[in-house]
Amino acid sequence: MAEKTEKEKLRIDKYLWSIRIFKTRSMATDACDAGRVKMHESAVKPSRNVAIGDTYEIRTSDRKWIIKVTGLLQQRKAYSEAINFYEDLTPEEDKTNTKSESSSFYTGKRLSKVGRPTKKQRRDWDDIMDET
């Protein structure tokens, strides 16, 4: 019987990673350490055990989450399966991205007419200038 209680223990940082709130477990741990994961308006440590029925407020770089734990997920699964282990209680106004739409992932491409030209753009420009 003692083994079952050991299996039922799950740290909050591992839980947030497994339900895909954070991309890595270390990001979840850092969020807990920085006070961006709260329960009853007080910050939780990354080693805190999760229990079914707990409600957490989480601030990520993209948005604010309010989740209620409906099941414990020990390992990371596909998003379609992971959403069955929590209930999203976030109000609609907080679900929208707090950042502007243009600030999504950095693609590595330079924005048009900003900064120095790339090597390819400079060569194209040199070709145009040589033709005249």
Q: What is the rounded average pLDDT of the residues 17-34?
A: 94
Q: What CATH number labels 2-97?
A: 3.10.290.10
Predicted confidence (pLDDT) at residue 31 exceeds the cutoff of 90: yes
CA atoms of 84 and 86, how far apart (whole Å): 6
Predicted confidence (pLDDT) at residue 113 exceeds the cutoff of 50: yes
Domain range summary for the chain, segments of one domain joined by +: 2-97
Predicted confidence (pLDDT) at residue 111 exceeds the cutoff of 90: no
Contacts of residue 33, defined as CB under 8 A and 6 or more positions apart, other chains included, come to 45, 46
Question: What are the distances in angstroms from CA 34 to CA 47, 59, 75, 86, 116?
Answer: 14, 10, 24, 23, 37
**Where is pLDDT greater, at 2 or 99?**
99
Predicted confidence (pLDDT) at residue 2 exceeds the cutoff of 50: no
72-109 pLDDT tens trace? 999 999 999 999 999 999 888 777 755 544 444 555 66
CA atoms of 94 and 98, how far apart (whole Å): 8
Confidence at residue 6, expressed as pLDDT on a 0 to 100 scale: 47
Predicted confidence (pLDDT) at residue 28 exceeds the cutoff of 60: yes
36-78 pLDDT tens trace? 999 999 999 999 999 999 999 999 888 899 999 999 999 999 9
Q: What one-character DSSP code corresponds to residue 85? A: G
Other CB atoms within a 10 A radius of the CB of residue 23 amount to 10
**DSSP 3-state assignment of 7?**
helix
